[in-house]
Structure 1
Amino acid sequence: MTQHTEGRTGAGTADLPGFDAELQFCLAGRRFAGRRHMVLLRKIAELGTLTAAARAAGMSYKAAWDAVEAMNNLAPRPLVESAAGGRHGGGSRITAHGLRQLRLFERVEVMHRRYLNKLHADLQALDEMEDFRQLMERLEMKSSARNQFHGTVLAIASGPVNAEVTLDIGGGNRLVAMITQGSVERLGLSPGNAAYALVKATSILLTDADDGLRLSTRNRLCGEVVWCREGAVNGEVTLDLGGGKTLTSILTNESIGHLELREGMRACAVFKASSVILATR
C-alpha cells in the first residue's frame, strides 16, 4: 500500500498533516498494480480492446500497453492476453487469473476505505506526519530500467570474486546475471529465493532469430516482435517472449532498418550477464 499526506486545516489551528492512501497489489513485497491498473483491467474486460479500454480509463494507448506489459511481467500468470491480429489488430481479453485479481481488489478496496475513514479521525491528534512523509519519499526508490522481471533463483555458480546467478522469470525464460560474491551475500540470494531482474533497454541488442550466430553473451531470449517504432535517432522494439513476458530494446533506426525488423517477425534479444541488475526485498 502506497501512502501520501495531504494538508488539512483545523479551526483556529495551523495546517495539520492529513493522511491518505492508495491501495495497491504487491507481489513478493513489490508493488505491481494499483487502482489505475485495476480500472484498466475492468475496461479491458468490458470493451474487449486495449485501444477502447485505454480511452475509457483516461490513458494513452502507449501508457496502457506499458501498464499491461509491466503487470504481466511481474505476475505469476498473465492478467491480459491479446487476441489474433497483433498490437493494432484483434483485441485483448482479461484472463481468468486477471478477473480474480480484479474482483479481489474491488472487495479489498471497500474494506480499505472503511479503514481510512477511521484513520483520518485518529490522525487529527498527530503533528509529525509531514516529517514522516518526507522520510518515506527519501526511502522510496524507483528504477529507470525499462525491463523488470520477478523470478526465482535457480542456481548460483560461485567464483573467487564473482558469481553467476540464474533466474527463472516464468514462461520458460531464464536470465543469467553476473554479480560480486559480496552482492550475493548482501542480497541474501540462494536457490529457491525470489529476486528481481532489471535490464536497461539500451543494454539489449537484437539479432535475426535464424542468423545462426554463436555469441559470448550469456542471455539470449527470442520472441515475436509486437512493437516496432522509430524515433528521430533511435527506435523501440518489444518482443513477446511467451508466458505473458515481454522484453524491450532501444536501438538505432539504422539497426532496425538493417535487421528489417517489423511487427510479426521473430527476433532474439542478446545481452551480457553483467548488464542484469538483481534486487531483493
Structure 2
Amino acid sequence: MRIRTKLSIEQDGVKLGAGRVRLLRLIDEHGSISAAARALGMSYKKAWDSIEQMNSFAVKPLVVRQSGGSGGGGTKLTDFAKELLQLYEETEQRLQKFISGTSETSSLNLSSRNKIKVHIKKIKVKVEEVVVHGMLGEQKLKAIITHQALQELNLKEKDEVLFIFKAGAVSPKGGNTLEGRLVEKMGEQEIKVEVEGEVLHIRGKFKLKGFMIHFSIDPRQIIIAKETK
C-alpha cells in the first residue's frame, strides 16, 4: 500500500502547492520562466500568471529579472523564494516520515499529529477553494483544500481518505466540531480523547461534561492523504 498526499503550505502571504513548487524549482534551474514553462508543458502566459499571483500576495518578490549578459538576461529566484522552497521541502519530508511511521520525535512528534480515516460524502467546489465534507463514524467533518489538491489526489465522493492535523489545530469553540470521550490528561493543556474509536491528541483548554468533550478543528489546517494501491 502507498499513501499519496497533496501538501500545501501558506507562509508570509504565499500559498505553495506541488505545482507552484515545481515551477519555482525549474525557474531556479533554467534561469528563465519560458524554459520552466516548456519543461512543465504549460504556456508562458500560464506560468507568468502563476508567478504574478504569488508575487501579488507575497510580502516580498519571489522572482526578479536579470538584464544583460551573453544570454540576454533572464529570471532568478530571490532569497525569499528559496527560503519558501526549503520550508516546503522540509515540511514534505516530515509529513512523509509521519505517514510511513518512521518519524523521529525530534523531527515530528507523533503525539502532536493526528490521522483519522474519513469517508468523503460531498465535495463542494468554490471559486477560490474546495470544501471536502466527510464522515468520521456518525460525525461530520470538513477540510478546505485547493483546486490543485483536488485534481492531484483525484478525490471523489465515497473515497476513504486520511485527515491529518496537528494537536494545536483545535479550539474549544467554532464550527467543524467533534464530540469525544476523555481518555487521559497528559498535561495542563494536552489531552487524549477518543472519537468514534480513534484516539486523538489535542491541545488547549476545554470544558468537560462528565467525560465528554467538544472541540473544533480548523478546516484549513487539515491535510488530506489518499491511499493508493
TM-score, normalised via structure 1 length: 0.40
Q: Which has the higher contact order (CA 8 A, sep 6+)?
A: 2
Structure ID, larger Rg: 1
